[in-house]
A and B are shown apart, each in its own frame.
Chain A
Amino acid sequence: MTGGIGESVRRPDGPAKVRGEFVYAGDLTADDVLVGVTVRSPHPHARITRIDTTAARATDGVHAVLTADDVPGDPWFGLTMRDEPVLAGDVVRYAGEPVVALAAVDAATARRAARAVVVEYEVLPAVTDPEVALTAPPLHPQAHPEGNVYRHVAYTCGDPDARGVVTVENTYRIGMQDPAFLAPEAGMATPLPGGGVLLEVATQWLHSDQQQVARALGLPPEQVEVRLAGVGGAFGGREDVTLHTHACLLALATGRPVRVEYTREESFLGHRQRHPGTIWLRHSADADGTIVAVEGRVLLDGGAYASTSPVVITNTVTLLQGPYRVPNGRFEGSSVRTHNPSCGAMRGFGVPQAAFAHEAQLDALAAALGLDPLEVRLRNALRRGDVATFGQTLDAPTPVREVIEGVRDLPLPTGPAKAPGGVGRAAEGGTVRRGVGYAVTIKNLAFSEGHTDESTATVSLRDGHATVHCACAEVGQGFVTVAEQIARTVLGATTVTVTQPDTLIASAGSTSASRQTMASGTAVHRACEVVRDRLLARVARAGDLDPATLSIAGTTVCAAGRPLTEVADAAPGHTVRATEHFAHPDTYPLGSTEGGMYVGFGFSAQRAVVDVDVDLGLVSVVQIASCQDVGTVVNPTQLLGQIEGGIVQGMGLALMEEVVVVDGLITNPHFEGYLIPTIVDAPEVVSTYVTDPEPGMPHGWKGVGEPPLCTAVPAVAAAVRAATGLPLPAVPIKPEHIALGLGSTPTVTWTTPRPAAPSSPGRAVVELDPTDRTGTWDAEGATGA
C-alpha cells in the first residue's frame, strides 16, 4: 500500500506551489475586474461628523463608493456578538476601522479616490487600559449596554483556602501577537445571475463567512456562495470576516467582479490578534512539591469588538491549572472591551497565555522548595481518570508523565552554537550563558462548551479514482494530503482528487482548534467506509458472493483474504457515492452537571536550550526537544511540520513578536517593526511522540497543531530564566528585560499547612457569578446542512 495513512505522503498541491503556479486569493482576477479598497479610521475612538464622497465619486475610473448607508441588510456582524459595523457610520471604536469601501478600475485609481474621501471626526477619549475598561461606562452601548466585559468566568473547586507549606505568587504579562500569515487578506466577489454573489476568499471557515455576509447583504445564505481561494497561512487570523462583505457589496453595487487585497499594514489593522493579557497566579504546595491549591485571575484585552473574546477567556481561565492535579482552586477571569485592536482566534486560543503563567509558577515552586523542576511536574502530572478543576473527568489517554519522560531523557546539544541575536546579532558580543528550561502543557482540542463541532464529506469512487468534497479549508496545514491518505487506505483508490471547498456542501466548521483531522478527517473516513461497503456489495451481487467475506487490501478487492479484482476494475464505469456527517459528542458550558466542557485534550512537553548574551540581552534558541501526545501519526512529515512551525511561532511570542499599541494606535504594523523569526533564529528541533490512540477517532488520530506553540512559549522563557537568573514574568522577553534585569520576582511565603475543609464540595464546579455568559457562535451550520 503506498500513499495511505501513516506514510509521509507528499502534498497534492505541492507541485503547483513549488512551481509558483498555485493560485492564491491575491492572484485572482477576471475580465472587467475592479479593485476595491477600504478607507479606515485613523482614530481609536471618534464620532464621525461628516463623510463627503463627492470628490471620490467624481474621480475618473471610480465605479462605487459605499458607506454605512449602503449596507442593505444587518449593519452589524461578528463571530459571537453581532457588535461590529460592516462600515462605521456614527462612531469608530478602533484605529483602522473600515468607514468607506470603494471600487475603481485599478489599484492606483482606487487609492487616489480613497485619498479624496473626506471623513471628519470629533475625536473622543479612548479607553485603552483593560483594567479601566472593566468598570468604565459602556464603550459600545448600542450592542453591549450592560458594560464592557465580553465574558466573566469564575469558579472554585475543593477548598480554595487550603494551604501547604509554601505559596508562590506572581503576575505575568503576555503581549499581543499577530498571526502574520504571509499572504495578506485577499478575495474576489463576482455578481451571480439572479442577484446573488460568489465570494472566492482566503478563509478558515466558509460557512461562517457565508452566514455573516448574507446577513449584511440582506440575502438568503444560499444566494451567497463562498468558495475557498488559495490560502497563504491563517493561524486563526482568518476566522473573522474582514474584506468579505465589502467585496460583495462593491460587486453587487457595480455589477462587476471586485478584487480586494490588503497591504501588509492593512492586514495588521484589519484582522484579529492574539489577546494580550495579565495573569495573577498563586500556587500553594507541600514540601515534596505536591500542589495543594491554585488561585488565579486573568484579564484579557479583547479590543474594540467581541470576535471570539467570550470563548477565549474560558480556555485561559480553565487551563490555568496546567496538566497538573489541582484539588483545590479558585479561578476567575474576564475578557474586556477597549478601544484597542480587536483580538480573537490565534493558534492556541487563550492557552499560550495560561501556559506561560502556570509553567513559570511550577519553576518558582520548584526553586522555592529546592526541588528539580521535572520532579515537581511528574509528581503532579494529571492521569487518565482524574477530574479537572472545571469538573471534567479525563476519560481518554492523559500521557502527561509519558511526554515529560519523553523529553527528559534526550541528549543535550553539544558543540559551539551561533552568536545570540539572530539576524540582528552584534559584531562584538558580551558574555554568553547557556540555559535549559522545560515546559509541559494541556491544550483542549476542538470546539467547546456546547459549540457544535461537526463536518460533512462527500466521497465518490469510479474506476479507482476517488473524489473528496468537503468544506474544510486547506490553509497550509495539509488536510488535502490527509484526505487523500484516508481515501487510499479505506477505498484502495489509485488516484484521489480533493475538490476546492465551497458552501455547496454542509459546513465543516473552522480550520482551527486543532480540529480538522478529527472532524473532517473522520467525516471523510466515514464517507469512504460507506462507499467501500457499497462497492463491495455490488461486487458481491455481481459474483454471487457473501459481502461479509469481501474486503479491500491495498488497491485490491479480496474475497476471504484472496485477491479477487482491483478496486479500479471492480465496477467499470460505475460511480459509487456517499455523504456522511460527523459530530463529536456534545459538550456543555462551564459549570454544567450534564457533561464536560471539552471534546478532548492534547499534551506536550518541551525542553529548550538557549544561549543568552546577558550584556546585550540577546538570545539564541539552540535547540528545542519536544515530546507530544499525538494519538497516532497520520503523516510523519506533515506532523513534523506542525511541530516545528508551532514551536517557532511560540518562540516568536516568547522573544520577539509584539504588536505595540500606544494610545490605541499600532506603532509597528509592518515587518520592519514586527519581527517574526527568520531562518537564523529558528532552533534545531528534536521531535518525539507518544502515540496512545484517541478513543472514538479512526486510527486513534487527534489534533496536533496548537500544542507545540503553547509549550514553546513557556519552555523558551524558562530557559532564558535559567541562563540569566532573572524572573522574566513577561513575554516577549525583550533585550532590555535581560540587560537591565526588569521584571518582578515571584513572592514566596512560608505557610502553616491547612488541609482542605472536610465540607468542601469535592471537585464540583461552583459558578460564583450568576451573570456569567457563555459565548455563542452564530449557528452557521444550520444553513449548510
Chain B
Amino acid sequence: MADVEFELTVDGTTSAVEAGFSESLLTVLRDRLGVRGPKVGCAHGRCGACAVSVTVPGEDAHVLCACLVPAAIVAGCAVSTIASINGPDGELSDVQEAFLAEGAVQCGICTAGFVTAATELLDTNPDPTREEIEGALYGNLCRCTGYGRIVAAVEAAAAGRREATS
C-alpha cells in the first residue's frame, strides 16, 4: 500500500507526515516524529502504555491507545501526549506530583499512560469514586505496583482539586 501524506498536530506542533496507510499513530509518533513519551507495551491495545489524548475539533478530548489508531485518521485532530501534561510554568501537574508522592511509579513504563488516563478522568470528574477510578484506568496495565499506590495517587490528586476549589 502506498504511503499517504497528511498533517499531524502533536503537542501543539503540526508536522507533515508521510506514512503507510494503516500505520499506527504510535509508530508515527515514536519512529517518524521522535515523540517517545507514549510507550510500546503490547501494540494490541491491551496495556495502555501508549495512551494519548486526541481532540477532534469541536469535541471533547478522548484518551485512546495510540497503537490501535491509524495515524492518518487523526489528521486534523489535536494529539496530546504526556509531554503536554504539566503544571503552571512547566512544573509537574497535580497528578504527576501525586504519582511521585504516593509511590505510584516503579519501573515507570506504564506511568505516562496512567497519568494521561488519570488526568482525563479528573478533568471530567474531579470527585471520582473508587469504582469510577477503576472504570477509567482498567485499560492500563501495571506490573510493578499492584495498583494500590496508583489508586492512592488519583485519590490524592482529586482531594487536592477539591481543596483548591472549596
Give chain A's interface residues, CB within 8 Å of chain B: 8, 10-11, 13-15, 17-24, 26-27, 106-108, 180-184, 231-235, 261, 263-264, 418, 423, 475-478, 637-638, 640-641, 643-649, 670-672, 676-680, 682, 684-685
Contact pick for B41, options A22, A182, A234, A679, CB 8 Å: A182
Please tell me if B82 contacts chain A, counting CB pairs below 8 Å.
yes
CB of B122 to closest CB in A, whole Å: 15
Interface string of B12-42 (1 = CB under 8 A from A): 0000000010000000000100001111111
Known: A418-B131, A648-B146. A18 touches B99 (CB 8 A): yes
Contact pick for B108, options A13, A263, A684, CB 8 Å: A13
CB–CB A232/B107 < 8 A? yes
* Residues in A whose Cβ lies below 8 Å from that of B107: 181-183, 231-234, 475-476
**Interface hits, B106-148 → A, CB 8 Å:** 106-112, 115, 131, 133-134, 137-138, 140-148
A22 to B112, CA, bound (A): 10
CB–CB A641/B83 < 8 A? no
CB–CB B82/A670 < 8 A? no
CB–CB B103/A232 < 8 A? no
CB of A676 to closest CB in B, whole Å: 6
A35 — nearest CB in chain B belongs to which residue?
B31
**Interface hits, B45-73 → A, CB 8 Å:** 46-47, 49
* Residues in B whose Cβ lies below 8 Å from that of A264: 41-44
Known: A19-B83, A680-B134. A24 touches B39 (CB 8 A): yes
A780 to B43, CA, bound (A): 36
* Residues in A whose Cβ lies below 8 Å from that of B103: 8, 637-638, 640-641
Known: A11-B100, A19-B92, A640-B148. A478 touches B141 (CB 8 A): no
- Beyond A476-B106, A644-B145, A670-B46, 12 extra complex contacts between A and B, CB < 8 Å: A14-B105, A15-B100, A18-B96, A18-B108, A20-B38, A20-B83, A182-B107, A184-B41, A641-B106, A644-B147, A672-B46, A678-B138
CB of B100 to closest CB in A, whole Å: 4
A11 to B144, CA, bound (A): 14
CB–CB A182/B148 < 8 A? no
* Residues in A whose Cβ lies below 8 Å from that of B131: 418
B130 — nearest CB in chain A belongs to which residue?
A418
Interface string of B83-106 (1 = CB under 8 A from A): 101100000100010011111011
A121 to B109, CA, bound (A): 38
* Residues in B whose Cβ lies below 8 Å from that of A680: 134, 138
B100 — nearest CB in chain A belongs to which residue?
A14
CB–CB B105/A19 < 8 A? no
Q: In the complex, which of the residues B20, B42, B133 has the most CB atoms of chain A within 10 Å of its own CB atom?
A: B42
A645 to B86, CA, bound (A): 27
Please tell me if B151 contacts chain A, counting CB pairs below 8 Å.
yes
A264 to B138, CA, bound (A): 19
Q: In the complex, which of the residues B49, B107, B141, B149 has the most CB atoms of chain A within 10 Å of its own CB atom?
A: B107
The 5 closest A-B pairs by CB, nearest first: A476-B107, A20-B37, A232-B109, A17-B108, A20-B82
* Residues in B whose Cβ lies below 8 Å from that of A644: 145-149
Q: In the complex, which of the residues A19, A107, A638 has the most CB atoms of chain B within 10 Å of its own CB atom?
A: A19
CB of A243 to closest CB in B, whole Å: 15
Give chain B's interface residues, CB within 8 Å of chain A: 20, 31, 36-44, 46-47, 49, 81-83, 85-86, 92, 96, 99-103, 105-112, 115, 131, 133-134, 137-138, 140-151
CB of A5 to closest CB in B, whole Å: 17
CB–CB B41/A183 < 8 A? yes
* Residues in A whose Cβ lies below 8 Å from that of B111: 17-18, 20
Known: A182-B47, A648-B147. A15 touches B40 (CB 8 A): no
Secondary structure class of chain B's binding surface, majority of residues? loop
* Residues in B whose Cβ lies below 8 Å from that of A24: 39, 109
B84 — nearest CB in chain A belongs to which residue?
A20
CB–CB A679/B44 < 8 A? no
CB–CB B110/A182 < 8 A? yes
List 7 A–B pairs whose Cβ atoms lie within 8 Å, in order of A's numbering. A10-B101, A19-B85, A21-B37, A21-B83, A23-B36, A418-B131, A637-B102
CB–CB B138/A645 < 8 A? no
A423 to B36, CA, bound (A): 29
* Residues in A whose Cβ lies below 8 Å from that of B44: 264, 670-672
CB–CB A18/B141 < 8 A? no
CB–CB A685/B143 < 8 A? no
CB–CB B81/A647 < 8 A? no
A623 to B119, CA, bound (A): 27
* Residues in A whose Cβ lies below 8 Å from that of B150: 679
A19 to B81, CA, bound (A): 10
* Residues in A whose Cβ lies below 8 Å from that of B92: 15, 18-19
CB of B166 to closest CB in A, whole Å: 26
Known: A641-B144, A644-B145. A477 touches B138 (CB 8 A): no
A283 to B52, CA, bound (A): 55
CB of B59 to closest CB in A, whole Å: 24
B151 — nearest CB in chain A belongs to which residue?
A679
CB–CB A232/B39 < 8 A? yes
CB–CB A645/B106 < 8 A? yes
* Residues in A whose Cβ lies below 8 Å from that of B39: 24, 26, 182-183, 232
CB of B148 to closest CB in A, whole Å: 4
* Residues in A whose Cβ lies below 8 Å from that of B82: 19-20
CB–CB A476/B144 < 8 A? yes
Known: A17-B108, A263-B43, A637-B102. A676 touches B141 (CB 8 A): yes
A678 — nearest CB in chain B belongs to which residue?
B138
CB–CB B106/A477 < 8 A? yes
A261 — nearest CB in chain B belongs to which residue?
B40
Q: In the complex, which of the residues A27, A183, A638, A649 has the most CB atoms of chain B within 10 Å of its own CB atom?
A: A183
CB–CB A685/B146 < 8 A? yes
CB–CB B149/A637 < 8 A? yes
CB–CB B100/A182 < 8 A? no
Known: A20-B82, A670-B42, A671-B44. A645 touches B112 (CB 8 A): no
CB–CB B144/A18 < 8 A? no
A66 to B108, CA, bound (A): 34
Q: In the complex, which of the residues B37, B46, B99, B133 has the most CB atoms of chain A within 10 Å of its own CB atom?
A: B46
B81 — nearest CB in chain A belongs to which residue?
A20
A645 to B107, CA, bound (A): 12
* Residues in A whose Cβ lies below 8 Å from that of B138: 423, 678-680
Q: In the complex, which of the residues B38, B102, B137, B143 has the most CB atoms of chain A within 10 Å of its own CB atom?
A: B143
CB–CB B36/A27 < 8 A? yes
CB–CB B31/A235 < 8 A? no
* Residues in A whose Cβ lies below 8 Å from that of B20: 108
A48 to B143, CA, bound (A): 38
A120 to B85, CA, bound (A): 51
* Residues in A whose Cβ lies below 8 Å from that of B105: 11, 14, 17-18
B139 — nearest CB in chain A belongs to which residue?
A678
CB–CB A682/B108 < 8 A? no
